[in-house]
């Protein structure tokens, strides 16, 4: 579980003492923060495009939200550790579904597919996720 892997970062939180509901809420909060950090990272290559198109922040966020899963899949492909067929096999989905997402034809996959794609992304880009977690923990520490 994602939250269990992060419990060592919480000095004042006894993870084992949290209720099941609190653990779920903690995991959801961390998952949301990781997703937001990934969107920021994926947004960088589009900076000039957004400027050229004179997009406001809301429009930029809409574009990134629409292309979020596509960006993750393309980042997995960029590592050359998985092909589209490999991603399809890992996620237990037809290759056509993965191709449609990677091509931008399907921008709203199921939550279970999103979860599997993010799990795969974490496995091929562990350093990226470690950096994101450090940033999140630093942000949390500065709020205390």
> What is the distance between the alpha carbons of residues 136 and 102, in angstroms, rounded to a whole number?
28
pLDDT surpassing 60 at residue 91? yes
Its pTM surpasses 0.95: no
pLDDT in tens, 37-50: 999 999 999 999 99
């Amino acid at each position: 579980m994602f939250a269990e892997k992060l419990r060592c970062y919480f000095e004042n939180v006894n993870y084992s003492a949290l209720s099941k509901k609190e653990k779920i809420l903690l995991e959801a909060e961390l998952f949301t923060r990781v997703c937001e950090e990934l969107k920021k990272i994926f947004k960088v290559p589009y900076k000039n495009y957004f400027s050229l198109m004179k997009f406001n922040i809301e429009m930029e966020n809409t574009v990134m939200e629409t292309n979020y899963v596509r960006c993750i899949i393309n980042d997995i492909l960029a590592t050359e550790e998985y092909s589209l067929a490999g991603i399809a096999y890992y996620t237990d989905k037809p290759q056509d579904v993965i191709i449609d997402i990677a091509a931008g034809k399907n921008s709203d996959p199921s939550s279970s597919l999103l979860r599997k794609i993010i799990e795969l992304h974490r496995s091929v880009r562990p350093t990226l996720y470690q950096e994101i977690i450090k940033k999140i923990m630093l942000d949390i520490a500065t709020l205390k």
